[in-house]
Chain A
């Protein structure tokens, strides 16, 4: 639950957020929490437009403010178009949440250069270039925030997705470097190290063979209450974007229900 005070303040701030890959899943959870708190959002989707439309309808039903921009974060022109659209719509940008990512599920042997490069350019290239695109506007914000959605696999191997974990290791260091580089600007940069999350489906798996039942479909994990839901992530991201979190910088917050304690 978001406290009434926080909600009121956020409405007063009138902040604007761009959340990549937010038509569904974790990104949609963040949009729900943000819009309920009064933050205006750009919902970015690439392929799943219908789900983004559904989310926008839901947001508007409780009086939230958002718009959809369909863009591929690996495409320079589409990235720029999206950020320009945010400025055109709302005149400002305060929060960037990098979330759009893929997880092909392969051993090292299963990757060729083309596949790995493709994954690299989405999972870390998209984050890197979105920051470059948004930074001039974030610097103008009184409360600029960058949150990179990562994974527990940025610190522990997946044992079944070398390419994915490699990109998540890159996000770990990207977050720390960026936080250090932006010290003094007021912008904080943090990461979410996410464990198993209950979402509709993972984009990217469909194109390849999934060798084992994914955690999201694993009823054992669900029974044991090990899965988090997208809104859980949204609440933590919301806190990281608040004024109270000003001194939390360059950090990776693990949200995994304690799964990695063992």
Chain B
């Protein structure tokens, strides 16, 4: 197979899109490697020890955002702050430093942040998650500036909501009626970005490097309280969910 012998590290397999990507890319011949639980992603020395033995065949890294953490500003604790900072921005920073450093030495490689539309669109009750997404967004742009000269491609993917995220409708109004928010009128499955991720791993994707790529299939590309029904065509109807949203608050 074309991709045999190429190692792709997926740093965190806790989310469904990350698992789907691992399975798909494995089917394309990539060797998927994930750090064991003993490696804390915000610890540079642990990451380096993990990366050293595989660096010769290291081809790409996919760094998914951690699972969404729910909570308003007065609800989260100091421990929440510490944990979400660790696995959010600080982990992303150290992953970038270690793996992009290897790619720089190798004069090539791909770094993909499989992040969230919450790097752009707020959630309402997920302040720690979103601020970390915003941080990683800027980190990715800095990384592109720092490492691209050495042939490293850096992509920031703002993924949309999938069927695996449906259980979070008590987090945000954004999670109500997702089917009707998507122009295709159906919420994508967690594997909907697989083809895109495979493409980003190729060098042909380099023109997309260094800028966030909103991949939500048009979900947030409209004003959701503007029109509900136009000439027989139905759109997302905010009114249908108003009571539930209020309760969710």
Residue numbers of A with Cβ under 8 A of B are: 76, 107-109, 111-113, 116-117, 120, 124-125, 128-129, 131-132, 135, 153-159, 161-163, 165-174, 176-181, 250
Do the beta carbons of B142 and A166 come within 8 Å of each other? yes
Of B93, B121, B122, B134, which is within 8 A of A163 by CB? B93
Tell which of B44, B130, B139, B144 touches A174, judged by Cβ atoms closer than 8 Å: B130
Contact B89 A156 (CB under 8 A): no
- B157 in contact (CB, < 8 A): no
- Interface residues on chain B, size class: 35 or more
Task: Decide if B141 touches A177 in the complex (CB within 8 Å).
Answer: no
Residues on the A chain within 8 Å of B134, using CB: 154, 169-174
User: Are A173 and B133 touching (Cβ within 8 A)?
Assistant: yes
Contact of A128 with B93 in the complex, beta carbons under 8 Å? no
- Beyond contacts A109-B97, A124-B131, A169-B137: 14 other A-B pairs, Cβ-Cβ < 8 A, are A108-B147, A116-B93, A128-B73, A128-B131, A131-B73, A157-B138, A162-B139, A170-B132, A173-B119, A173-B134, A173-B135, A176-B121, A181-B73, A181-B125
Task: Give the contacting residue for B131; candidates A117, A159, A162, A174; CB below 8 A.
Answer: A174
Beta-carbon contacts of B78-101 to A below 8 Å, as 1s and 0s? 100100010001100110110011
SS class of chain B's interface: helix, strand, loop or mixed?
A: helix
> Once the chains are docked, how many angstroms separate the CA of A142 from the CA of B127?
24
- A108 near B143 with CB under 8 A, answer yes
By a CB distance below 8 angstroms, the chain A residues around B97 are 108-109, 111
Are A124 and B126 within 8 A (Cβ)?
A: no
Q: Are B146 and A170 in contact (CB under 8 A)?
A: no
Q: Is there an interface contact between B73 and A108, defined as CB atoms closer than 8 Å?
A: no
B124 touching A177, Cβ below 8 Å: yes
* Partner of B126 from A107, A153, A177 at Cβ < 8 Å: A177
B131 CB contacts on chain A under 8 angstroms: 124, 128, 170-171, 173-174, 177
List residues of B whose CB falls within 8 A of some A CB.
42-44, 72-74, 78, 81, 85, 89-90, 93-94, 96-97, 100-101, 118-119, 121-127, 130-139, 141-147
- Pair B93/A176 contact, Cβ less than 8 Å: no
* Chain A nearest CB, measured from B152 CB (Å): 11
Q: 4 closest Cβ contacts across the A-B interface?
A: A169-B138, A173-B134, A162-B142, A170-B135
Docked CA distance A157–B128 (Å): 22
Q: Are A125 and B81 in contact (CB under 8 A)?
A: yes
Q: Which of A107, A169, A180 contacts B124 (CB 8 A)?
A: A180
Please give the distance in Å from A192's CB to the nearest CB on chain B.
16
Contact residues in A for B101 (Cβ distance below 8 Å): 109
Could you tell me the distance in whole angstroms from the C-beta of B20 to the nearest C-beta in chain A?
A: 25
Bound Cα distance from A180 to B146, whole angstroms: 34
Residues in chain A near residue B123, CB distance under 8 A = 177, 180
B90 surroundings in chain A (CB, below 8 A): 113, 116-117, 120
B146 and A120 contact, CB distance less than 8 A: no
Contact B93–A111 (Cβ < 8 Å) = yes
Nearest Cβ in chain B — how far from A213, in angstroms? Answer: 19
| Chain B neighbourhood of A169, CB < 8 A | 119, 134-139
